[in-house]
């Protein structure tokens, strides 16, 4: 009974990991997905490399465990993550393999798009004209992005419009 009361006393409703507030009432693997740049596979691998139970509540983590999660997120390669799990492999500027989180990820994606537009690659031209970039068909979809819509005009009773 004392352990249960102690656990309730130390429970935190908001846990701060990687500059993101996580819900303490969710499991660790689900809460970590709220960090931009961490998906389902990466969060499960993070729990495995940190030796934590995925189903444990985030609010039950101690300060040391939160610090360990922060350290692993800062440099996953140092803790044995495979290179294919990183979201920034062979960076164009540095050539390094790294994993980017949060606002840095959004900035990097925007920067990459600007570079593609500047050097006028195929993807850059598609981005500039607001068309789909990854090979989707455009006959039926993507009409409402610029106000273009396809409608039907009916003729009046006398055969005139």
- Summarize pLDDT for 77-103 with one digit per residue, the tens: 999 999 999 988 998 888 899 999 988
Question: What is the spatial distance between Cα 130 and Cα 133, in angstroms, rounded to a whole number?
Answer: 8
- Summarize pLDDT for 65-78 with one digit per residue, the tens: 999 999 999 999 99
Q: How many CB atoms lie within 10 A of CB 98?
A: 16
Lookup result for tokens 């799990």: 85
Answer yes or no: is pLDDT of 161 > 70: no
Class of domain 8-85: mainly alpha
- Give the domain ranges of the chain: 8-85, 103-138
Q: Is the pLDDT higher at 59 or at 160?
A: 59
Residue 152 pLDDT grade (very low, low, confident, very high; cuts 50, 70, 90) = low
Lookup result for tokens 């050539």: 95
pTM across the whole model: 0.74
């Amino acid at each position: 009974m004392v352990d249960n009361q102690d656990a309730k006393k130390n429970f935190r409703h908001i846990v701060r990991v990687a500059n993101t507030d996580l819900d303490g009432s969710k499991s660790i693997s689900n809460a970590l997905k709220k960090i931009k740049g961490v998906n389902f596979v990466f969060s499960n691998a993070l729990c495995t490399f940190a030796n934590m139970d995925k189903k444990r509540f985030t609010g039950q983590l101690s300060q040391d465990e939160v610090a360990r999660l922060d350290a692993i997120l800062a440099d996953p390669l140092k803790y044995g993550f495979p290179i294919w799990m990183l979201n920034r492999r062979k960076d164009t500027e540095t050539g390094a393999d790294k994993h980017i989180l949060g606002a840095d990820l959004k900035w990097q994606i925007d920067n990459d798009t600007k570079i593609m537009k500047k050097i006028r690659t195929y993807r850059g031209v598609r981005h500039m004209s607001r068309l789909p970039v990854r090979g989707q068909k455009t006959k039926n979809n993507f009409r409402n992005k610029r106000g273009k819509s396809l409608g039907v005009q009916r003729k009046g009773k006398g055969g005139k419009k």
